[in-house]
Amino acid sequence: MLPPRDPDEILKARGADTRPANRFDRLASERAHDGWDIPEEAALLRTEVTNETPRSIITRNRSPDVPFDRSINPYRGCEHGCIYCFARPSHAYWGLSPGLDFETKLTAKPEAARLLAEEIAKPSYRVAPIAFGTNTDPYQPVESKLRIMPGLWQVLLDWNHPASLVTRGQTVLRDLPLLAEMAARQLVHVGVSITTLDAGLARAMEPRAPAPATRLRMIRDLADAGIQVRVMVAPVIPVLTEPEIERILSAAREAGATHASMIPLRLPLEVAPLFRDWLARHRPDAATHVMNRVRAMRGGRDNDPRFGARMRGEGIEAELMLNRFRLALKRLNYARTIPPLDCTRFGPPPRAGDQLSLF
C-alpha cells in the first residue's frame, strides 16, 4: 500500500504520485492533523540538483544480461519520470524514495570528465567500450544546463576510447558534432528508446521525456550524421504498448535505425507498486489485464529477478512477443548484428612537443 499523496504539493508532469518509503528505512512516518485550523500553502514541487564529486566515475559490473562490463552515469535519479523505470530502486540506497524523490531529487557529477581522464590514463587501465545511459538518462532535461556530457565525449574522443549510449533525451543532438566524429572512427553506437508512438500515452508514462515524434527525429538526425542507431523498443508493456511493436520498428527503420532490441516490462522492487498505482490512476479499465499479462511472463509474480530471465520473460506470452519482434526485424531488413566498436585506436592524446608519427 502506497502512502497518500501530499496535498500541499502541486505536481506538474511527474510520473509518480507519492513517496513510498525505501526498503532500507527502519522507521516510517505518516501525515496526521495537528488540530490547528491554519491551512498549509500548496507549492509546486520542483526539481532539486545536488552536486557530487566521487572518487571514481567508471562503474564496473559482471551481469551476464548486459554486453558491457563498465558504465558511466553522470546523474543519479532522472527527471524524465518514467513510471516503469527499473532504476527507481537505486534511489533507496541513498535514503530517498524511489517515487517522487527519484524524479525530483537528483545528483549530478560535474567533475565527471576530469575523473574519466584520470582513470583511463592509469597504466593499469585496459580499454573496453564504456556504456552511457545504463541506469539513468545522461540527456535528461537538466543536462541542457549542466553540460556534463560534452566534456565526457571530448575525453573519449581525445583518447580514441569506444563508448555506447542509450537515451531518449533530445539534448543529445546538441552533441552531434562530437558523436559524428567518434562514429567516423568507429568509436560509438547510439540507442534511442521508444516505448510508444501514442503521444498521449507517452505523456502520461514518461511525463518529461521527449514526445515519440521527437525521438524519431533524433534517430533521423543521428543516422544522417553517420552514426549507427539502434531503436530500443523498451519496455514493451502488455496491452498498452505491445500492439505497437511492429509500428514502432517500421517508423524507426524509416527514420534510419539499422538495429533494434526489445525488453518486456520489468517491475523490480519498489517499481511494481508504483506502476500498479499509475495504472489505477491513468488506465483503471486495463489495470487488471495488464498485470495479469505481466505475471504470465514472470512466473506468476510482478517481477522475476533471475539472470537470464529478467530481460526476456518466460512462457508462451514472452515467446509470442519475441517471435513477433523477430519477424518484424526480418521483414523490415534490420541488421542482425551491430559492427563492433574499435578498441585498437585507444591511446593518450598527443601533447605539445610530442614527435609525430611518419605514417
Give me the sheet containing 163-167, strands edge to edge: 59-60, 70-72, 130-132, 163-167, 188-193, 228-236, 259-264
What is the mean pLDDT of each successive set of 10 residues along the chain, which is 359 residues long? 87 95 79 72 94 95 87 98 97 94 98 98 97 96 98 98 98 98 98 98 98 98 98 97 98 98 96 98 97 96 90 93 97 95 94 58
Q: In Å, what is the CA distance from 247 to each residue of 168, 196, 328?
A: 18, 9, 9
Give the pLDDT confidence score for residue 356 in this predicted structure.
54
Contact 72, 112 (CB under 8 A): yes
Contact 139, 173 (CB under 8 A): no
Question: What is the rounded CA–CA span in Å between residue 298 and residue 293?
Answer: 9
Give the pLDDT confidence score for residue 359 in this predicted structure.
54
Domains of the chain and any CATH numbers = 45-331 (3.80.30.30)
Q: What pTM, to 2 d.p., does this model score?
A: 0.94
Give the pLDDT confidence score for residue 229 in this predicted structure.
98
* 189 Cβ contact list (under 8 Å, min separation 6): 164, 165, 227, 228, 229, 230, 338, 341
